[in-house]
Chain A
Amino acid sequence: MTVILEARNLNKRFGGNEAVKEVSFTVNAGECVVLAGDNGAGKSTVIKMISGVYDPTGGEVAFQGKRLTGQTPNAIRAAGIETIYQDLALADNLDAGLNLYLGRESTKRILGIPFIARREMRETAKDVLKGLGIVIPDPSSPVRDLSGGQRQAIAIARAIHWKAKLVIMDEPTAALGVPEQREVMALIERLKSQGVGIILISHNLPDIFAAGDRIIVLARGVVAGERRPTETNDEEVVRMMMGAML
C-alpha cells in the first residue's frame, strides 16, 4: 500500500475558536478513509484544508510526496484531488457531457472557428457513466431530469474522467433514497478498485461501516480514535463521536 496523502498536525483557528487541533492521518491508494464525527467536529474544516479552500493555521498536507499546503484550490484539483460537495455543484440546465467537462470543455474547429464539441463530450460522458454501471436514458437531457444517484454518478464520473488520485466526498448519501445510497456505495467500491484513494465524510453509521477501510473519528476538532471496521462496532464509534463532550 502506498500512502498518497498525508495530513500532518493540521490546526485551524477561527478567531479564538480552535476548530481543528493537531489532526494527522494518511490515505493509501485504493483505500477509503472515513472521517466520522458529529456536526461541528471539524470534518469539513479538515477537508477544506486539503482541497485548498482554507489555509491551515498550523501543520501541512502532502500529496504524493509533495507539499500541497498554500496552493490554490484550482492547482490542488489539477494535481489530482477532486472534491465532491454535498450539493454536487452541477449545472442543472446542462446535459451530462457538459457537466462532466465544465470548465475544461473540448472544442473542435470548423473552418478554423472553434465550436464546443457537444456530441463528443456527451458520448464520453455516456462511456464513463457506463463504466460506473450507470445508464442514462437520454444523454442529451439536462441533468435536472436525472435521479439523485445518477447526478451523484456524474459528479463521481468527473473525478474519474479527469484522473483524480484522491476523491473527497462530503456526505454523498445524505440526500438520497435507499436504492440510490446503494448505488453510491457501489460507485465508491469501483473507485477503490481503480486505485483511487477516498476520503468519505459521514455521520451515517451504515455507510461508515459499509465503505470505510479505516474510520477516523473526530470530536471537537481532535482525532478521538482510529479503528478498522472489523475491530469496532456502532456503539464504540458513537461513543468516540460523543466522547470529548462527556
Chain B
Amino acid sequence: MKPLLSAWSWIFLIAILVFFEIYARIETGQTFLFRVYNIQSIAIAASQILLLALGLTLVIVAGHIDLSIGFTTGLAAVVMALVIRAMGPDTGWIVVVLAMLVGIFAAVIVGLLNGWLVAILNVPSFIGTLGTYGIARGGALIVAGGATVSIRSEEARTFGNGDLLGFPIPVVVAGVLAILCHYLLAHTKFGVHTYALGANRASVERAGVNVKKHLIWLFVISAVTAGIGGLIYTGRFSAGAANAGEPILLYAVAAVFIGGASLTGGQGTVTGTVIGAFIIAVIQFGLVFSGLPPYWQFVAVGLVIIVAVLVDQSRDKLTGTQS
C-alpha cells in the first residue's frame, strides 16, 4: 500500500512537468523544464516549503500537528535580522552565524512551549500550536516593532542567495536537512517510535519509551527546521519579517499530506514530503510561467490537496483498512 501511494506522487509530479513542458512548447515554442533558471526557481520554491514541512512531517507521523511553524519562521527571521542590525553595519561571518544561532534559539523556545503544552499538559496539538501560532506571531511583531527589519550584510545576503558547488545555498540547506530528517524517521529507533506513537500510543508507552520526552523532541525539531527557513528568508531578502512563513504554512501542511501522510498519524515519509513540496513548487512556478494570474496557484494547490486525500481514501478502501 505504501508503494502505491508514493508511486502516485511520482506519477503526479511527472505528469504536471510533462503538462507544463507541452504547454510551453505549444504556447511559446520554448522548453519549460530544460532551463537552469526554471529548475533553480522551482528548487528554491520547493526548499522554502520543505524547511517548514520537514519537521512537520515527523510531527504528523506521530499523530500531531504543528500550526505554529509559520510564525516560528517569522520569529527566527526577525530575531536574526535584529541581532545583525544591533551588531552594527559591518558584519562579519561571526556576527551572522551568531545571529543565526540566536534566531534558532528563539525558534527552539516556541518548540519547547509546544512540547510542554502537548506532552505535559495534554493539550491537543491543533489547539496548543494554534495558541503558539498567535504567540510567535505577536512576539515577532513586538520585537520587530511591527515593521520589517531590513539589514545590510554581505554575508547574510550570500547565505540567502549564494551558490555552493553550483547549487543555491537554500537548496543545499533544505537538501541536507531532508537527508537528516529522512535518516531520523526511516532508520533510527526515534523514527520507529514516532511511527508507533502515531498508530498506538500505548504500544510505545508499554515498550518503556518516554513518550513525553519524545513528543517534546518532535516539536523542537519541527521548530528548528521552520526556524532555519526564517534564517534563509532573512538572507534572501536582507530583511526579517514577522510574516515570513505565513504564506508557506498551508503549502507545507499540504506537501506533507500530498506526500502520503495521514491526519490520524502513523504514516508518511520524508521522501513523500519532498515530492509533495516539488509538486506544489512546480504548480506555483508553472502557472506564473504560463502567464496566468498568480492567484490561480491557490486554486490549483487546493485541488491537488483534495485529490491527494481522495487517493488516500480509495487506497484505504482497496486495502480494507480504516484510517
- Contact indicator A91/B199 (Cβ below 8 Å): yes
- Contact indicator B188/A92 (Cβ below 8 Å): no
Q: Which residues of B contact A103 (CB under 8 A)?
A: 193, 204, 207-209
Given contacts A85-B202, A102-B204, 4 further A-B pairs with CB under 8 A are: A89-B202, A91-B204, A94-B199, A115-B188
Q: Which residues of A contact B195 (CB under 8 A)?
A: 91, 93-94
Q: Which residues of A contact B266 (CB under 8 A)?
A: 91-93
Q: Of all chain A residues, which has the CB nearest B266?
A: A93
Q: A244 at the A/B interface (Cβ < 8 Å)?
A: no
Q: Which residues of B contact A104 (CB under 8 A)?
A: 207
10 tightest A-B CB contacts, nearest first: A103-B207, A91-B196, A93-B266, A102-B207, A93-B199, A91-B203, A115-B187, A89-B206, A91-B199, A74-B208
Q: B189 at the A/B interface (Cβ < 8 Å)?
A: yes
Give Cα distance in the complex from A87 to B189, angstroms.
Answer: 23
Q: A126 at the A/B interface (Cβ < 8 Å)?
A: no
Of the candidates A73, A98, A103, A115, the one having the most CB atoms from chain B within 10 angstroms of its own CB is A103
Q: Write the B281-323 contact mask toward A (1 if CB under 8 angstroms, else 0).
A: 0000000000000000000000000000000000000010100
Size range of the interface on A? 20 to 34
- Contact indicator B187/A105 (Cβ below 8 Å): no
- Residue tally, chain B, CB below 8 Å to A: 24
Contacts A/B (CB < 8 Å), 7 sampled = A85-B202, A89-B202, A89-B207, A90-B200, A98-B192, A102-B203, A116-B189
Q: Of all chain A residues, which has the CB nearest B320?
A: A145
User: Which residues from 81 to 107 on chain A have a C-beta closer than 8 Å to any C-beta of chain B?
Assistant: 83, 85, 87, 89-94, 98-99, 102-105, 107
- Contact indicator A85/B192 (Cβ below 8 Å): no
- Contact indicator A91/B200 (Cβ below 8 Å): yes
Q: A220 at the A/B interface (Cβ < 8 Å)?
A: no
Partner of B198, one of A93, A99, A114: A93
Q: A144 at the A/B interface (Cβ < 8 Å)?
A: yes
Q: Which residues of B contact A92 (CB under 8 A)?
A: 199-200, 266
Q: Which residues of B contact A114 (CB under 8 A)?
A: 188
Q: Which residues of A contact B193 (CB under 8 A)?
A: 102-103
User: Which residues from 118 to 175 on chain B have a C-beta closer than 8 Å to any C-beta of chain A?
Assistant: none
Q: A77 at the A/B interface (Cβ < 8 Å)?
A: yes
Given A91-B203, A93-B199, A144-B321; A107-B189 close (CB under 8 Å): yes
User: Which residues from 119 to 165 on chain A have a C-beta closer than 8 Å to any C-beta of chain B?
Assistant: 144-145
Give Cα distance in the complex from A107 to B192, angstroms.
Answer: 12
- Contact indicator A89/B192 (Cβ below 8 Å): no
Q: Which residues of B contact A77 (CB under 8 A)?
A: 208
Q: Of all chain B residues, which has the CB nearest A87?
A: B202
Q: Which residues of B contact A102 (CB under 8 A)?
A: 192-193, 196, 203-204, 207
Q: Of all chain B residues, which has the CB nearest A91?
A: B196
Query: How far does the Cβ of B273 sit from chain A's closest Cβ, in whole Å?
Result: 17
Q: Which residues of B contact A116 (CB under 8 A)?
A: 187-189, 191-192
Query: How far does the Cβ of A169 sit from chain B's closest Cβ, in whole Å?
Result: 14
Q: B48 at the A/B interface (Cβ < 8 Å)?
A: no
Given A74-B208, A144-B321; A89-B187 close (CB under 8 Å): no
Q: Which residues of A contact B192 (CB under 8 A)?
A: 94, 98, 102, 105, 116
Q: Which residues of B contact A94 (CB under 8 A)?
A: 192, 195-196, 199
Give Cα distance in the complex from A92 to B198, angstroms.
Answer: 10
Give Cα distance in the complex from A148 to B252, angstroms.
Answer: 38
Query: How far does the Cβ of A54 sit from chain B's closest Cβ, in whole Å?
Result: 15
Q: Which residues of A contact B208 (CB under 8 A)?
A: 73-74, 77, 103
- Contact indicator A85/B199 (Cβ below 8 Å): no
Give Cα distance in the complex from A98 to B205, angstroms.
Answer: 15
Give Cα distance in the complex from A94 to B194, angstroms.
Answer: 11
Give Cα distance in the complex from A10 to B321, angstroms.
Answer: 44
Q: Of all chain A residues, which has the CB nearest B1?
A: A142
Give Cα distance in the complex from A161 to B76, angstroms.
Answer: 48
Give Cα distance in the complex from A103 to B196, angstroms.
Answer: 10
- Contact indicator B203/A105 (Cβ below 8 Å): no
Give Cα distance in the complex from A74 to B207, angstroms.
Answer: 8
Q: Of all chain B residues, which has the CB nearest A114?
A: B188
Q: Which residues of A contact B267 (CB under 8 A)?
A: 93
Give Cα distance in the complex from A242 to B45, angstroms.
Answer: 71
Q: Which residues of A contact B187 (CB under 8 A)?
A: 115-116
Give Cα distance in the complex from A144 to B203, angstroms.
Answer: 13
Q: Which residues of B contact A98 (CB under 8 A)?
A: 192, 196
Q: Of all chain B residues, which has the CB nearest A88?
A: B203
Give Cα distance in the complex from A152 to B209, angstroms.
Answer: 21
Q: Which residues of A contact B207 (CB under 8 A)?
A: 89, 102-104
Give Cα distance in the complex from A18 to B209, angstroms.
Answer: 32
Give Cα distance in the complex from A90 to B203, angstroms.
Answer: 5
